[in-house]
Chains A and B, each alone.
Chain A
Amino acid sequence: MIAIIDYGIGNVFNVQNAVVPLMNDAKLTSSPAEILSASHIILPGVGAFRDAIEALEQQGLVEVLKQAHEKRIPILGICLGMQLLYEVSYENGTYQGLGFLKGPVVRFPEPQVKRIPQIGWNTLVENKASLFSGVEGEVYFVHSYYAQGIEDEILTYVDYDGVKVPAIVGSDKVYGMQFHPEKSAEVGRKLLERFFSL
């Protein structure tokens, strides 16, 4: 079963719409038992980092996700869900994340970046060979903060006003996508398929 984590934050409906045609056993869930017995976990998220990490904490899901990580269940964080995988975010304060990936989440630098949020389609550039290698084209971004992850965990990036923005990150069993694969047409579908091939 594919567990799409339902913790009251963000647009799980669209993630479900995109995943179900690929994997018909995908299910929205907040049940620890279901999450820990899943073949793959998707952590969606839209909105503010603080609200999201607090919602996960209140529902006991921070601990569940850490257990899933120890069990080496493949995890994919999408957009804010990807940012939650990092150690710390500086969005309107300082908040601890799950810490599965190394580095902080920071706001785009002004005035170098002229328009915040980055909204729109940007071209993936490969940084490091990975299970996503060979899927090329544009994907859809909507975000004001980005991960300053370590080079070794940046698989693809996009250029936004000269900032190298990590797009697909991770290693081994933990991955994140800063863009919305569920809203990225065929390219997004192919990337989700690669994750489910793990």
Chain B
Amino acid sequence: MIKKRIIPCLDIADGQVVKGINFKDIKTIADPVEMAKYYYESGADELVFYDITASYENRGTMVELVKNVAKQVFIPLTVGGGVRTVEDFDVLLKSGADKISVNSSAIANPELIQEASERFGAQCVVLSMDVKRVGDQFKVFSKGGRIETELDAIEWAKRGVALGAGELVVNSIDTDGVKKGFDLELLTAISAVVNVPIVASGGAGKIEDFVELFHKTDIEAGLAASIFHSKEVSMTALKLAMKRAAIPTRLA
């Protein structure tokens, strides 16, 4: 039976793992290679590296970082942030990334999903979306959740999959940072309309939030960042708790 996945996300700026509050007050917290090795050894199922600066100048730093991690960490690596062209996909895949996630660039240019999927295969194209409730609708936001778009999240998820995305990351702006659990209503709504794996993001604050996610929805994976980095949630304890709760779990 396939296992439910736990995915730490490492936000990267200038080659370092950082955590920021509202994109300000960004603090360096660790060396990404050391942190990746730590998560690998403690049983993380995949890792996500997100380039929060996403500038052209920083691309070289990110490529080097991915290469260094890929030499020592033998689990799948997803890279996102500032990926705008199929050439960006190509460079990152050749550096050791297994999957590439796109967000704002796919909103601006949906054909990017199709082009990348045709050239590299659907399995490496991840559509990441930031979603917030506006009235009685789930709306997609771009640019790190700052700008409201015209897109309805349910429709955008369906369109992204039709264009060739092989996986969705659904990040709820409403629950992000609140630490009271994943946005089960949003996740259930999107899960009902697509047939690709879904990664839940935004809202996890404790072990029970992951257990609830996997008990109450059919979502495949849970992603979080700072709660893992701060060790509020230990990977080992989380995996054991999932196993005890009869959730299909891989133990390292």
Contact B195 A116 (CB under 8 A): yes
Per DSSP, are chain A's interface residues mostly helix, strand or loop, or mixed? Answer: mixed
Taking CB as reference atom, which chain B residue is nearest A165? Answer: B2
Whether A185 lies near B75 (C-beta < 8 A) is: yes
B74, A115: Cβ atoms under 8 Å?
A: no
The contact of A120 among B74, B166, B220, by CB within 8 Å, is: B220
Which residues of chain A are near B5, meaning CB under 8 Å? 120-121
- Kindly specify which of A11-19, A33-41, A95-103, A146-154 makes contact with the partner chain: A11-19
Residues in A with CB closer than 8 Å to B195 are 110, 114-116
The distance in angstroms between the C-alpha atoms of A166 and B13, with both chains bound, is 41
Contact A120 B98 (CB under 8 A): no
- For residue A57, CB closer than 8 A to chain B, the reply is no
In the bound complex, how far is the Cα of B194 from the Cα of A110, in angstroms?
13
Is residue A119 contacting chain B, with contact meaning CB distance below 8 A? Answer: yes
Q: Does A143 contact B (CB under 8 A)?
A: yes
CB–CB B96/A119 < 8 A: no
Contact A142/B95 with A117-B197, A122-B1 known, Cβ cut-off 8 Å: no
Q: Which residues of chain B are within 8 angstroms of A48 by Cβ–Cβ distance?
A: 118, 121
- Cβ contact of B252, chosen from A14, A118, A185, cutoff 8 A: A185
Chain B residues engaging chain A, CB cutoff 8 angstroms:
1-5, 40, 45, 67, 70-71, 74-76, 93-96, 98, 118-124, 166-167, 195-197, 218, 220-221, 250, 252
- Which residue numbers of A lie inside 8 Å of B, CB to CB? 11, 13-14, 17-18, 46-48, 110, 114-123, 137-138, 140-144, 158-160, 180, 182-185, 188-189
Given contacts A119-B167, A138-B250, A184-B75, list 6 more A-B pairs with CB under 8 A: A13-B95, A46-B121, A120-B3, A120-B45, A144-B122, A185-B74
A-B contact pairs, 29 of them (CB 8 A): A11-B96, A11-B98, A13-B67, A13-B70, A14-B96, A17-B70, A48-B118, A115-B196, A116-B196, A117-B196, A117-B197, A119-B123, A120-B3, A120-B4, A120-B45, A120-B220, A121-B5, A121-B45, A122-B3, A123-B3, A137-B250, A140-B75, A142-B76, A142-B98, A143-B123, A144-B166, A183-B74, A184-B75, A188-B74
